Structures are given as C-alpha cells and as structure tokens.
Structure 1
Amino acid sequence: MKDITKKYSNGEVTVVWKPATCIHSTICWKGINGLSSVFNPAERPWIKPEGASTQAIINQVKLCPSGALTYFLNDEVEAAIEAEPSKDIARVEVKPNGPLLFHGNCIVIDNQGNESIKENVTAFCRCGHSTNKPYCDGSHRKEGFVG
C-alpha cells in the first residue's frame, strides 16, 4: 500500500489519517465511545472535523491504537516547524493480543532495502499473520492471536 496521508481540518484542528498504518480497530467511530459525527467510513469524505468540538476530536484521535489518526492544532504549526528536534526517548508498547506499538519517529527498512520514515506511532505485527508485514493489519483478531 502506498504511503498516503490525508488531512481534514475544521480551522482549529487538522486530523491526519495514514491509511497504510490503520488497523481498522473501528474505535474512532463505533461503539459507545465512537465519534460517528466526525468519523464515518460510509460517507465521503469519511472524516468531517466540523462534526464535533476540537477537544472531542483530539480526545478521540488519542484513542487510535495504531497511530493512523493523529492531529495538530493549526495555530501551533508554525511553532512546531521552528522547534528543535525532540530528544525524547522512543517507547515500545506491547498491546495485549495485538500489535507492538512503536511511539516515536523511526526509519523502517524492508527486505529489499527500501526505507520508509514513520512518525508518531507505528503498529508492528506480532502475530505473524499480517499481509502488510512488518506492519499490523489487524489479522491477529481473526487468527485468535494470544500474546
């Protein structure tokens, strides 16, 4: 899958979606905590940030387990561009019965030597069943992976 990035803004906040990173957990739009007024895969565009308050959108995006959804506040973009690179330590999180989440920026080199820059959160396959290795595609759920 291509490294596509899509952006949707309500003027205050911009939601960034990276489909290749998405594991289709449906947390963004489904269930009691879903925000279907903003995230609705049955409609085009599927993200409509005018459907809720900026804070509600931020709270929902923070729940994304794969990091396919991120956000930035539009008035802070200039400050972020001028900021020095972060010296934060990357964090790796093992999700119960799910992927390995890498929090931070990294370069992934595939088996043919191609490099991809990944930012924020990257979900790596732990079950071995992903069709998009080394990334998680949610196959662990249908395979009943326990780990």
Structure 2
Amino acid sequence: MSEEVVQGREVTIRFDAGRCVHSRNCVLGRPDVFVPNVPGAWIHPDAASAEAVMHVALSCPSGAIRVAHTDGSATSDAPPVLNTVRVRENGPLAIEAELVIGGQRQATPRATLCRCGQSQNKPFCDGAHVAAGFTATGEPAAKEFAALEVRNGPVSVQPQPNGSLMVTGNLEIVSGTGRTVNKVTKTWLCRCGHSANKPYCDGSHKAAGFVAD
C-alpha cells in the first residue's frame, strides 16, 4: 500500500501503512482526526489544531504518521535532541534518532524494530509478535554506564546477516516505564527473539538457526 498524503489548511499528514504497528496512539489520542474502518476518507487534518496533530505524529513510535505545517514552520521529521530506544514489553524496539537503517537514511526519526524474529518486514516490526505470543520484559536490568558527551546525532542500525542489530551512535536505552537502563555509542541488540539477555544479543541466533538479511 502506497503512502497516503492528506493536505489540510494548516498541516499535511502522511501515513505509511507499511510501517504501522497499530500502537493506536493516533485513533485513541485524536479520534476526530484519525477515524479508521469507515468508508471514504479516514484522515481529517482540519479536525484539530496543528499543534494537536503534530503531537500525534511525535507520539507515533513507528514513524508511520508524519506531519508538516503547510507553511514550512515545523515538521515531525526533525531529529530529536535526545536519541532513545525504548524496550516495549512483549514487543518491538522503538527507536528515535536521526536514523540510517541498513545503509538507508530514513525520512522519519522514528521506527519500530522487530525483536521477536517473526516479522515479514525485517528489520521493522509488523506486529507479528502478537500472533507469535512473543514474551520479553520491557524492564531490563540497568547496567553501569557513563554519561554521553553528546546525546543526539546520527544513529546507524545495521542488521547483521542471520544475526543481531548492530547499532552505532549516541543512544540511551530506556525501559517501558521510562528508566534509562544503559547509555551506549555501540551495541548489538537481539532481533531473533531467543537471547537470554534481551534486549542485547548473546549469540543465541546461531543455535536457533535464525535467518534474515
């Protein structure tokens, strides 16, 4: 499905169904703007203020929703001042940074990365963890870490063949309840679903026979 682009008086909304993980922040936060399962148009950018619509885009973990003011004054694609990856309970890794994934610079600074090993859209999450019954804590133990000299900037996510996600750049690893559990400039994150040290890779993908580009 191609990206939907809906232009309103003050904002333009872009929706990429291929990235959507159905977090439902949009339909619960602004049910007047995002009205699914109805005939015809379901995105109504003029139903709320520009600021309210922008807030929805900034809270979309997958980057499926992007918003720009029509006068060019603001966009949800602006890189964050603090790079984070949030560990979702029984779900994906929600990363926010100036992203380069698999060598491709991303238009949006938000993405959800599969960590159950079952997605058909790797390295991105497609919601397969639900049907797979994937279980993994969103509250990993904190590690000892030093403060980062710089807390933003580019972050590279490079999927290793049949292996983990090699992540390079300034990044804070955050639990589902908002605790910072680690600060890194390089780490390897599990994407096969088998590590005993999630969210980090422990090499279990080899014994599990994990296969992915």
Q: When the two structures are superposed, what TM-score results if normalisation uses the length of structure 2?
A: 0.52
Asked if 1 retains the 8 angstrom alpha-carbon contact of 2:94 and 2:113, the reply is yes
Tell me whether 1:92 sits opposite 2:61 in the alignment.
no
Asked if 1 retains the 8 angstrom alpha-carbon contact of 2:96 and 2:109, the reply is yes
Aligned position for 1:141 = 130
Q: Against the structure 1 CA distance between its residues 99 and 35, is the aligned structure 2 distance closer, same or farther, given a 3 Å change threshold?
A: same
Aligned position for 2:198 = none
Asked if 1 retains the 8 angstrom alpha-carbon contact of 2:95 and 2:112, the reply is yes
Aligned position for 2:13 = 15
Deviation at 1:27, TM superposition (A): 2.2
Asked if 1 retains the 8 angstrom alpha-carbon contact of 2:61 and 2:111, the reply is no
Of structures 1 and 2, the one scoring higher in RCO (CA 8 A, sep 6+) is 1
Match of 1:38 among 21, 26, 33: 33
Whole-Å separation in 2 of the counterparts to 1:141 and 1:62: 24
Deviation at 1:21, TM superposition (A): 0.9
Structure 1 residues 37-76: aligned runs within 5 Å: 37-43=32-38, 44-76=40-72
Whole-Å separation in 1 of the counterparts to 2:69 and 2:30: 19
Match of 2:110 among 113, 121, 144: 121
Deviation at 1:54, TM superposition (A): 1.8
Asked if 1 retains the 8 angstrom alpha-carbon contact of 2:61 and 2:95, the reply is no
Structure having the larger proportion of residues in helix? 1
Deviation at 1:90, TM superposition (A): 4.7
Tell me whether 1:101 sits opposite 2:94 in the alignment.
yes
Asked if 2 retains the 8 angstrom alpha-carbon contact of 1:25 and 1:138, the reply is no
- Name the amino acid aligned to 2:129: H
Deviation at 1:89, TM superposition (A): 7.2
Structure 2 portions without partners, runs of 5+? 138-213
Q: When the two structures are superposed, what TM-score results if normalisation uses the length of structure 1?
A: 0.72
Asked if 2 retains the 8 angstrom alpha-carbon contact of 1:102 and 1:123, the reply is yes
Larger radius of gyration: 2
Structure 1 portions without partners, runs of 5+? 110-114
Whole-Å separation in 2 of the counterparts to 1:10 and 1:23: 25
